[in-house]
Amino acid sequence: MSRRWIEPTLILISGLCLGGEVRGQAPATGQAERAAGILKKYCYRCHGQGGRNEGGLNFVTDLKKLVESKRVIPREPDRSKLLQRMKGGDMPPEADFEDQSENPPPLPRPTAAEVALLRDWVKAGAPAVATKQAAAPRFLSDLDVSALIIEDLKKLTSRERKFIRYFTLTHLANAGYNADQLQTYRAGLSKLINSLSWSRRIKSPTPVDPAKTVLRIDLRDYLWDEGTWRAILDLYPYGLQLEGTTNASISAMTVCELPYVRADWFVFAASRPPLYHDVLRLPATIEELERKLDVDVAANIRQDRVSRAGFNASGVSRNNRLIERHESTNGAYWRSYDFAGNADRKNLFSHPLGPGEEEQDFEYDGGEIVFALPNGLNGYMLIDAQGKRIDKGPTEIVRDNKQADGAVVNGISCMSCHNRGLIEKPDQVRDVVARTKSFNAEVSETVMVLYPPRDKMDELFKGDQERFAQAVKQSGSALSQTEPVFALATHFEDELNLPLAAAEAGLRVKDFEAMLERSPRLGQSLGPLLVGGTVKRDVFVEAFPLIAEARHVKTIDVAGLSDAATPAPRAGGNRAPAAEAKTKPILGQRKAYPPERLSNFPEEFFGGNRDLFREVGPAGSVLVGVRVSYIMRFGGPKISSIQPIFRVGRTLLEGERHGGLLGKETTAIAKPGYAVGALRTHTGLTVDGFEMVFMKIKGDRLDPNDTYNSPWLGDTRGGSPGEVNSQGNLVVGLQGRSKDEVNALGLIGVK
């Protein structure tokens, strides 16, 4: 059976699906009950059941919300989008999008009488179903959330707790979101988290409360670490310093100042750069990604181990496009070659080979990578002509009309487009070359091999789609026309009404209104909420510190959380820090540690003492971090310079820079109470990369049993592994060898 898929914008009005019998005009209450029953019979399976959210309409049986969302205009059926769609007679669609079988059964359609009943219901004012007065859902305060978390943590061992983090939906429940809407968020959150994981196992967040509004994850399930969570907190605008023993206990148990964030914010923020890149640990170049996935593109092309499709018509690219499939460690590795034009060597049909510099080789200007993660879901990467990772595709080459600026945004745009995996595109190059006979025998033969027949490509597409669909289902989400992460991220950007703003402020509506009325500054920025209006998301975020101040609660300065600057992305990613931790240069005159009290870790450096540096902080200080810069060498970012950072009390002091400042800088600093206790390195001719092991300070010692790691700085793949460990001695200095680059690293401790 042929499928007739509909655009997401059309699905928005899926409430046209009707059902039930009509036996004369019924009172308003009877009409409402019949209307709700009809909508549930025909529409609920795609618009609410199990959290399914086609077209962003996951409340199709909630008649009140249909009116609030303006899908239904009371007494005006001709202006009601629901009824406008009903006239076309194409809802529900011919088959359920989630059913990927060869001949999916057709979905039942409403009768003309059922459509008429719904129209009569709208004309009668679209009344809601009369129900018995039920107790309002309990409002959960910030302290209630803390209580749920502490009770959950008590069920875990002390070793487990430091890996535990939480996502919350309580503010959405407080704002009146129904069970179907909350399930949509749980499903979308699970899909996104697992799409940011290099684990081979899919693991959905675990609800810890009866309403399922507080969800627990274990960082280890996704191969995340403390640095991953800190990268998330760096951008989190809603952190509050809640006082009391409960919150102090939560921080102590998890070794984290803020172990929970809002799920809706996370779905929005982590589905696009910089968080998408940082949490997924996406390398900075295509070469690094291909090494990670064990893909050798040049060798595969040379050995005829690729499958290509070239075409003119593309929903994303403005010009002709080529997609190419390789096998990777985890399954499929697809890359596109995109072009800024169609003339000369940018014309695939006259230059079907390459990429390269030969006469028949094409010249491309960028591309998109879609690669299978170990768990079967997909990861994405956009690159420029040099193979460097970029956040957005240039609009003169590719476009995403669902984005306000038309730019293809890595992560969210790719998820939306590839909602069921790879998109089948029929090749045109093979037929053109065969039909025109314009190429010599060698070129024609190569094209016949690299551009396989349609049936072979269809088989590859189908296999990759099935694997992706299975992984989506395992994550608890649905394979849908409206991609769940995209729908939720887009909804987060919508304007806030009064109930949602109050809930996000942690207050009941009446208390929030009173706060706006007594605060001139809040009244000026959020005043439209008091007169039935809405506010933009960025306006609310800007006002959030004022809300916290009015509640007599401090916000957590996430940009400088624990005096730690933004961690470096793994493999030398190029995200600019949100804010640098404030440091001061060490003054020339300072009290020093006596030389006889110092010891080296290790005492000798490979290659001797050429260009040796040794730097010790002032007496009373400890080494708490570094500032490094990178240089691209041998396909990855190597350490070109390093600058030690010391802490004396609450003051951060920066030492001298050693090596050459040849690229972007990144800073990583321990949180208060911790200091550098060890280095884990990859070294070759230079220091390829390293991470610091931060240890808890206990008196005049470091505790090797209470540690966490910094983000990895530099290249993760090159060189030989090594470790420099203080064995619990306080580290007060840094040593090494450097000239234009850093060639060796060690620590200096106090005996």
DSSP letter string over 122-139? HHTT-PPPP---PPPPPP
Judged on CB neighbours under 10 Å (0-12, 13-18, 19+), 332 is buried
With helix as H, strand as E and coil as C, how does 420-431 read?
A: CCCCCCCCCHHH
The reported pLDDT for the residue numbered 85 is 66
The reported pLDDT for the residue numbered 502 is 96
Q: How far apart are CA 597 and CA 620, in angstroms?
A: 13
Domain ranges of the chain: 8-123, 139-278, 282-474, 494-556, 569-750
144-156 pLDDT, tens per residue?
A: 999 999 999 999 9
* Residue range 48-74: mean pLDDT, rounded: 66
The reported pLDDT for the residue numbered 74 is 75
The reported pLDDT for the residue numbered 205 is 97
Q: How far apart are CA 443 and CA 732, in angstroms?
A: 65
14 close to 91: Cβ distance less than 8 angstroms: yes
For the cut 80, the answer to whether the pLDDT of residue 135 exceeds it is no
* Residue range 409-419: mean pLDDT, rounded: 90
* Residue range 129-137: mean pLDDT, rounded: 55
Q: What is the fold of 569-750?
A: Vitelline Membrane Outer Layer Protein I, subunit A (2.100.10)
* Residue range 303-312: mean pLDDT, rounded: 94
More confident residue, 345 or 44: 345
355 close to 346: Cβ distance less than 8 angstroms: no
Reduce the DSSP state of residue 605 to 3 states and report it: coil
> pTM of the full predicted structure?
0.67
Bond from prior residue into 274 cis (ω within 30 degrees of 0): yes
Per-residue confidence band for 103, with pLDDT thresholds at 50, 70 and 90: low
Per-residue confidence band for 593, with pLDDT thresholds at 50, 70 and 90: confident
Q: How far apart are CA 704 and CA 227, in angstroms?
A: 18
403 close to 270: Cβ distance less than 8 angstroms: no
Name which of 113-127, 250-264, 339-353 the model is least confident about: 113-127
Residue-wise DSSP of 616-647: EPBTT-EEEEEEEEEEEETTEEEEEEEEEEEE
4-58 pLDDT, tens per residue?
A: 333 333 233 333 333 333 334 445 557 777 776 667 666 666 665 665 656 666 6
Q: Determine if residue 378 is left, alpha or beta; phi over 0 gives left, psi from -120 to 50 gives alpha, anything else beta.
A: beta
Locate 77 and state its tokens: 């059926």
The reported pLDDT for the residue numbered 286 is 95
% residues pLDDT > 90 (the chain)? 48
Closest CA to 350 of 248, 459, 438: 438
For the cut 90, the answer to whether the pLDDT of residue 631 exceeds it is no
Residue 738 CB contacts under 8 Å (≥ 6 apart), including other chains: 611, 613, 641, 642, 658, 659
